[in-house]
Structure 1
Amino acid sequence: MTQHKRKIHYAWWVLLGVALIVGLAKGGIMTAGGLFLTPVTQDLGIGMGSLSLYFSISSIVTMLFLPIAGKLMSKYNIRLVLIIGIILQAGSFAMFGLMNSVWGWYLFCIPMSIGSVFVAQMAGPVLINNWFKKHNGLAMGIMVASGGLFGAILQPMAGNLIASHGWRYTYIFLGVLVMAIVIPTVLLTIRMAPQQKGLQPLGIEEVRDNDKKDVRQVEAKGVKSSVALKSSAFYSLLIFFFFVTSIGSFGQFVAPFAMNIGYNISFAGSAMGGWQIGTLVGALTFGILSDKIGAKSTAIFAMIVGLVPVIMLITVANKPAMFNIAIAIFGFIVASMGTLGPLLTTALFGNKEYSQIYSTAVIGLAIAGMVALPAYGYIAQITGSYTSILYAVGLMMIINVIAVLFAFKGKKKLEAAGLWD
């Protein structure tokens, strides 16, 4: 017998590894930070705004390190890079459990953010693009959904652990658990390229067969970046990016909000599990929906539906079942962030100079991460309530509907001027 034909291509094992790595790094570390805000601030006497400022520092570090990370991943062994990355991310997260001053969060969020760039942001897209020439979209969807799946498991568990063993133990437990699972997963499943296993990427034969047929179909069309970046469509897109990220940033304050209105940390952890389930479903839904009705209609739909959980949290948050339903819907809507940004950029400006346009537009994402999180924290600290934040989130959703309409009106102007070709 030979091994010429295998029932399961090794690309699927790489995807399994990627799903575990990204899922644990996101669901167990990145999105769990909000659960600790109230217990830490109460125990150490730190203001909510002061503590949440570490999220802003993380956003700045991430933005600065992203270009460097790509070069390092292409230069050094991928497994070594990911192991160092998870030690930096999960190890720094565990170190929070030993801190007694807010400066500890400010300090350790720097290596944590550097590690997360490799593990949670860069590894998945790079490896999937290397291994999958067919089913690439499916693989990306599975990877994104894995964060919601693991978050739905780990965040309720974290809430219960904080309630029973305290926030210090839970920080350390989660950090060590993630490292203990991710490091063996990296060693056992991850290879940078199929050639390292004596293979070709999944579906490469079909791509080669269709190359000649597809060349004309994939010819780049759209707007030049020099034109796009000066257009009203681009500024409208930038506004959308800023506000959709600000809306999603509320996820870090779901647990403090729940505890502010009388729920305990275990309930808050369960609610965040519902958020993650909503994110999982949304990650698999919005790509399909965009294919069916287009990016414009999908974006408007997402923002209008997003008003439902905002209204519920303002009016009936004191009812546990309604609170959980609202948070799950909120998580579903926030999942649109991962798909709508790239899809709206393509719909508005085409793919002629997509990377230049998109890389500039995501400045809106980075600025929102720096501004919204500490702003929410300080508003809660000053007012003692999250109601005004919810009103602001609802207003941002309405503004985003208007921004999308203006963006596509701007696209028509570009087409009428003969700048879209």
Structure 2
Amino acid sequence: MSKLKKFHYAWIILVAVSLIRGIAGPALNGSSGLFLSPVSQELGIGIGQLSIYLSISSITMLFWLPIAGNILNKYSAKTIAIIGILLQGIPFVSLGFMNSVWGWYIMSVPLAMGAVLLVNLLGPVLINRWFVANRGLVMGLMMTITSLLGAVFQPLLSGLIANNGWRFTYVSFGAVSIVCIIILAVIFLKDKPGDKNTHPYGYDTNTKNTDKETKNNKNLGVSSKVATKSLAFFMLLVFMISITGFAVFSQHITTYGLSVGYSIVSIGTALSLSMIGSAIGSILIGVFSDKLGIMTTSISVVAVGLLAIILFLFAGDKYAVFMSATFLHGLSMSSIGVVSPILTSTFFGSKEYEKIFSLVSMGSPLASILLVPIYGFIYDKFGSYNIVLVFLIVLLAIGGICLIIGNKNSKKLDLADKK
């Protein structure tokens, strides 16, 4: 019985938000590429014309993130999760009945709005409320569970599309996802530890708060108005843009590999190493952030990213180097979902964490909107990714420097009162 009493409900929260994120992320949000070819063939349109809806989604995310951060402060986690899956799930189902590309353009807006709530914000926000200790490990576990669910859902959806068609897959999987997330939200989600008459995991009632612990106190931290006017905020935003700009190069690795002479099979093998690296990296980055501190871990991530890009730059026909580069790219790419919420809490405390984190998160869609097509245009112009790779080295270096400057500036902020 004593062991049972030691079990903390925070772990239920972790499992619930990980499952919700896994369904909403890799399954609903991340399956878009699987539908492009069959949908474009049946509708008689180009993949490029259809994929415009993905750009509309990114633009929607950019404008919706700060609004969503405010909504998270006003409504319960249950309500947010239900709103999120209705925004995302119903349009997903409706795509199975569409006969014009305009359906995807229109539905991309609510799809992105729901994804922001369920994929970008809900998990980090609840983990920040429910965990004081081991936040890095917990964030890493959430990302790993999400990745593993993606490994399950991607072949499942591919099989459904191949055997039953894309329309059936949109409707059936969308409907099942709505039901599953609503059940998880209603039964398991709780807003804060007080709802279960407990303290956050790792809270020590017998120990006075240290300076580090003070930042995690829900009543302490900067207001969003003060945070967004600080140098620390802009430096953290630049870091998010730089690490995302590095991460989205993954969408060009296949083309890069083909350009230097590798077969599609060889590239696929290397990309599987990237997925393994991402799963390993999520856990390692979380553990290191708890043991070594979030700044040391974040700078180490930048260093690994730089090494990956340098290996890409000099890989040439050396396949072992190319494979090493893809593995390291996957490992460091996984840091986005782990370090960004912890850095936000470390810099600005927890007083208005939801609002500030949603604003910091804007760096990711901003980088995706701008840099993914730019990398492609550069390759089209020069027939090589060398300029892109050199740019990524500079971008990561700038991100690392900005992170150091932001950390120093954040220490000047008075977390006791930020009005």
TM over 0.5: yes
CA distance in 1, matches of 2:10, 2:174: 28
Question: Pairwise mapping of residues 17-166 of structure 1 onto structure 2 (< 5 A)?
Answer: 17-166=16-165
Displacement of 1:185: 1.8
Opposite residue 200 of structure 1, the aligned amino acid is T
Per-residue CA distance 1:348-375 (angstroms, 9 max, x = gap): x787999799776655433212223455
1:363-382 equivalent positions in 2, closer than 5 A: 363-375=362-374
Give the AA of the match of 2:390: L
Which amino acid is 1:208 matched to?
T
Letter in 2 for 1:304: L
State the 1:334 CA deviation: 1.4
3-state SS of the aligned residue for 1:174?
Answer: helix
Change (3 A) 1:119 1:407: closer
Instruction: Name the aligned partner's letter for residue 21 of structure 1.
Output: I
1:296 and 1:9 map into 2 onto residues whose CA distance is 29
Q: Aligned in 2, Cα 1:25/1:397: closer, same or farther, shift over 3 Å?
A: same
Matches within 5 A, 1:163-182: 163-182=162-181
Task: Please name the residue that 1:403 is paired with.
Answer: 398
Do the aligned partners of 2:308 and 2:324 also contact (CA within 8 Å) in 1? Answer: no
Return the letter of the residue paired with 1:184: I
C-alpha separation in 2, matches of 1:369 and 1:75: 29
Provide Cα deviations, 1:162-210, integer angstroms capped at 9, x if missing partner. Answer: 444444343334323422422222222122233434x213446x43322
Q: Residues 206-240 of structure 1: CA distance to partner in whole angstroms, max 9, x if unpaired?
A: 43322x35258757999x969963xxx98776554
CA distance in structure 2 between the partners assigned to 1:357 and 1:84 by the alignment: 21
Gap change, CA 1:353 and 1:3, over 3 Å in 2: closer
How far does residue 407 in structure 1 lie from its aligned partner after superposition? Answer: 3.7
Distance in 2 between residues matched to 1:135 and 1:392, nearest whole Å: 40
More divergent stretch after superposition (8-17 vs 45-54): 45-54
Distance, in Å, in 1 between the alignment partners of 2:21 and 2:257 is 27
Q: What percentage of residue pairs aligned between the two structures are identical? A: 31
State the 1:297 CA deviation: 4.0
Q: Is the 8 A contact 1:132 1:203 kept in 2?
A: yes
Give the distance between the partners of 2:234 and 2:125, measured in 1 at CA.
29
What is the alpha-carbon distance in structure 2 between the residues aligned to residue 157 and residue 352 of structure 1? 39
Root-mean-square deviation (CA, aligned residues, Å) is 4.7
Partner Cα distance (1:346, 1:77) in 2: 21
Q: How many residues align?
A: 400
Which one is further off, 8-17 or 325-334?
325-334
In 1, distance between residues paired with 2:345 and 2:70?
26
Q: Read off the aligned partner of 1:241 and give its amino acid letter.
A: M
1:209 aligns to what SS in structure 2? coil
| TM-superposed deviation, 1:121 | 2.2
- The answer to whether residue 10 in structure 2 is matched with residue 8 in structure 1 is no
C-alpha separation between the residues in 2 aligned to 1:164 and 1:313?
A: 39
Q: Does 1:303 align with 2:305?
A: yes
Superposed CA offset, 1:29-84 (max 9, x none): 22222333344444444344433332232222223223333443343343233123
* Distance in 1 of aligned mates of 2:88 and 2:349: 34
**2: distance between equivalents of 1:314 and 1:163?**
36
Q: Residue in 1 aligned with 2:417?
A: none
Q: 2:206 matched to which residue of 1? A: 209
Deviation sequence 1:112-163 (CA, Å, 0-9, x none):
1111122222221232233333444333222222221111111133334444
C-alpha separation between the residues in 2 aligned to 1:84 and 1:331? 32
Q: What TM-score do you get using the length of structure 2 for normalisation? A: 0.73
For the residue of structure 1 that corresponds to 2:5, the secondary structure is: coil
Question: Structure 2: how far apart are the matches of 1:7 and 1:414?
Answer: 39
Cα distance in structure 1, aligned partners of 2:407 and 2:133: 34
Counterparts of 2:16 and 2:350 in 1: how far apart (Å)?
34
* Separation in structure 1 between the aligned mates of residue 182 and residue 123 of structure 2, nearest angstrom: 15
Distance 2:315 2:31 in 1: 21
Q: Distance in 2 between matches of 1:91 and 1:304?
A: 41
Q: Output the CA distance in 2 between the equivalents of 1:396 and 1:404.
A: 12
Q: Deviations 1:390-418 (Å, cap 9, x if unpaired)?
A: 54652343123431465478689989xx9
| Distance in structure 2 (CA, Å) of the matches to 1:379 and 1:11 | 47
Cα distance change of structure 1 residues 250 and 28 upon mapping to structure 2, 3 Å threshold: farther
Residue 370 of structure 1 aligns to a residue in which SS? helix
